[in-house]
Amino acid sequence: MYFVKIFLYFLYFHIVNLVIINSIKMRLWSLHPKYLDRAWLLACWREWLLAKKVLEWNTIWYKNHPQLNRFKNFSNPILAINAFLTQIYIESKNRWYVFWSNKIEYVELIWIIEVTDWQLNYEKEHLFKKLSLRDINKANLIKDLERVTSNPIFRIINWNIESWEIT
């Protein structure tokens, strides 16, 4: 009877966590990390490390996250995500933040995955709305930019917004 209670508790805990975790929308930014404020940069690092674990099959969370498809479709997904995380790590060093480099393989690659210009504009507007509530100075820096740059691993192409953004 004791083991049944433990099993039921574990099952309940696992189901509750799945519901909570999957109800939170994860944002995997295509924008260059220089546009992110401190909170977003830290969240981006954390979420991309989780995405790396997903691609390495080391977690059950977010296995079917649509934004990961662009990495899954790359010939070497782990290399691509390490290249992305390297750019976030470089930005953290530029700001004198301490991110643990042992969490990633340091890889500098550019233009290995495509991102659309409309996607970047969508993310710029989304980031501006969020920053307007939290860091108006950072928001004003990106508000008037005609074009934003992407994380260097992305090659910008002229196309529509990504399908995962359309609701």
Question: 151, exposed or middle or buried, with CB in 10 Å at 0-12, 13-18, 19+?
Answer: buried
| Domain boundary assignment for the chain | 28-165
pLDDT at 51 (0 to 100): 86
pLDDT at 100 (0 to 100): 87
pLDDT (tens place) for every residue of the chain, 167 residues total = 666 556 555 545 555 444 434 434 557 889 999 999 998 899 989 988 988 888 888 877 667 777 788 888 889 999 999 999 999 999 999 999 999 889 888 898 888 899 999 999 999 999 999 999 988 988 998 888 888 999 999 999 998 888 777 65
Question: Cα–chain-centroid distance for residue 83?
Answer: 13
pLDDT at 6 (0 to 100): 64
- Tell me the whole-structure pTM to 2 decimals: 0.78
pLDDT at 1 (0 to 100): 67
Q: How far apart are CA 149 and CA 154, in angstroms?
A: 9
Q: Quote the radius of gyration of the chain (alpha carbons, Å).
A: 18
Backbone angles phi, psi at 89, to 5 degrees: -65, -45
Q: Are 131 and 139 in contact (CB under 8 A)?
A: yes
The sign of the torsion formed by the CA atoms of 30, 35, 40, 46 equals positive
Q: How far apart are CA 96 and CA 40, in angstroms?
A: 16
